[in-house]
Structure 1
Amino acid sequence: MNMTTSYLFLVLAIFLGVTSNSFAKSANGFTLLFPSIITAITIVSCMYALSMVMKTIPMGITYASFAGLAIIATVMVGVIKYNQVPNLYTIIGLCFIIVGVLMVNLLGDS
């Protein structure tokens, strides 16, 4: 697997992770069947996609990138879908996450 394919799988994993987070909120503590099933399917699919990425990209870089970008994307879903607007300190913290992901991918050893 080449690097381009690995990063495409990483994007897929992020999408699936954010989807699972969104449906987990909708599942209301896993009391609603449909959102609970979607949550389970997407999180398992997400882990599969991450395992594919780790064939090429080191585990630490993979997971740091996944976690950071999934956090950013999940916050954006929270803003759009649930009207959960972050405060100034949260925005600053999210900016640090973005800088960290960029540093790990662009300046870290891989």
Structure 2
Amino acid sequence: MGYALLAAAIAAEVAGTTAMKYSEGFSKLWPSLITVVGYALAFTLLAQTLKTLSIGTAYAIWAGIGTAAVAAIGMLFMGEPAGLLKITGIALVIAGVVVLNLGGAH
């Protein structure tokens, strides 16, 4: 159950961050509302996740996968450059999350 909640928290955070890009500095109503709701939901779900998962593991997964997903969305859908160093960085973030999990995720 903890990992399902964590996946939902990540999805909400990614949706909120993506909407923030479209809010144009919170000057557009709907993307701004999606941002606020996305982050509120993300933190609520993350808090629930911490009832069953260790904080270090949960936060590393949440932040790492969220960062990698937002970077990928930027490259795939928003015209951001997709250079070798950026892709390597994303791979290293994901590798770090995997290593943390192998080290004893609960």
- Written as runs of structure 1 = structure 2, the 5 A alignment for 1:30-69 is 30-69=26-65
CA contact (8 A) 2:64 2:93 kept: yes
CA contact (8 A) 2:54 2:105 kept: no
Could you tell me how far apart the structure 1 residues matched to 2:43 and 2:18 are?
16
CA contact (8 A) 2:53 2:105 kept: no
C-alpha deviations, 1:51-103, integer Å up to 9, x for none?
A: 01100111111111100000111112112221223211111111111110001
Could you tell me how far apart the structure 1 residues matched to 2:14 and 2:28 are?
19
> Gapped runs of 5+ residues in structure 1?
none
How many percent identity over aligned positions? 30
Could you tell me how far apart the structure 1 residues matched to 2:105 and 2:67 are?
23
1:78 aligns with 2:74: yes
Q: CA RMSD in A?
A: 1.1
Q: Please state whether the residue corresponding to 1:72 is helix, strand or coil.
A: helix
After the TM superposition, which parts of structure 1 deviate over 6 Å for at least 4 consecutive aligned residues?
A: none
> Gapped runs of 5+ residues in structure 2?
none
Matched residues, number: 106
Q: TM-score, normalised by structure 2?
A: 0.93
